[in-house]
Amino acid sequence: MVKKKSFLEKLVSDNFFIISSWDWENELKPNWNRLFKTVKKFQIYHQGDIKNLSNAHIDTNLITKTKHTGSNISDYLLFILKNYPYFPEYIGFIKANLIERHIPENKFISLAKKKDLVPLYFERKTLKKKSSLFRGFIFQQIAPGICLEITNNWYIKNTEKGKYFPLIEDLYYFITKQKIIPKFIPMIPGANFITKSEKILRWDKSFFEKLYEAASYQSVPNPMPVEAWHIERCLMYIFFFERYNV
């Protein structure tokens, strides 16, 4: 006779997660108790002061101090570099404060347990198309957890020019070797997702070394390179989609 899972057992994900964290405060501060109801296998990559995690009562062996880059992307890439080529079959990459900020708790509990390629995002407001009188379509959630955004580099206006990939076209070519970028690009806002190790291992380690350098080369007070914005928008070409034959 198969034993039925208890209510608490149903909350738990068996997947392994890399959790990117920072010294967020107020409404951005992570609710660790809520997160740990579901996430049991994890390593925290913390870009802030480790002392600020003391109230969360987390085993210090599960915390890695990382460079403050302003982006969770660099923590994901650092984990890949430190552990390449040895990964669990499925890996979740998430921000510590994703619940309710990027996805409702009930949806996260349901999706975090899946053994699949899973975007961990849902905001009801993005189901409605965002458009501009002059530019037309800009952004919309087109499938569960996946949004479509115009590839016009709108976010580079108030940032330093990228050292490695100044425009999203540059990064897109580096990844796909396709010279013509789509007018719109599918993305996961917040960059929280589950992927398979085989999607990581199809790329050489040097590929991730280049991406990590591009996502982490700037320093305080403006630590987040424009390349981190580009990588967020190209994540599905790295961890989800089939590679182009080149």
Beta pairing, strands 184-187 & 90-95: unpaired
Beta pairing, strands 39-46 & 193-196: unpaired
Where does 95-164 have alpha helices with state H?
A: 105-111
Q: pLDDT by residue (tens digit) across 185-196?
A: 999 999 999 999
Q: What share of the chain is helix, strand, coil (3-state, %, to 5)?
A: 35, 20, 40
Dist CA 152 CA 135 (whole Å): 10
Segments of the chain assigned E as strands: 13-21, 39-46, 63-65, 90-95, 118-119, 130-132, 136-143, 146-150, 184-187, 193-196
Q: pLDDT by residue (tens digit) across 21-54?
A: 999 999 999 999 999 999 999 999 999 999 999 8
Q: Check: pTM over 0.85? Answer yes or no.
A: yes
Dist CA 216 CA 226 (whole Å): 10
Dist CA 122 CA 115 (whole Å): 19
pLDDT digits (tens), the chain, 246 positions: 555 666 556 779 999 999 999 999 999 999 999 999 999 999 999 999 999 998 888 999 999 999 999 999 999 999 999 999 999 999 999 999 999 999 999 999 999 999 999 999 999 999 999 998 677 899 999 999 999 999 999 999 888 999 999 999 999 999 999 999 999 999 999 999 999 999 999 999 999 999 999 999 998 777 899 999 999 999 999 999 999 986
Q: Which residue has the tokens 């405060």?
A: 25
CB proximity list for 231: less than 8 A, separation 6 or greater: 73, 171, 211, 214, 215, 238
What is the length of the chain? Answer: 246
CB proximity list for 73: less than 8 A, separation 6 or greater: 191, 215, 228, 231, 232
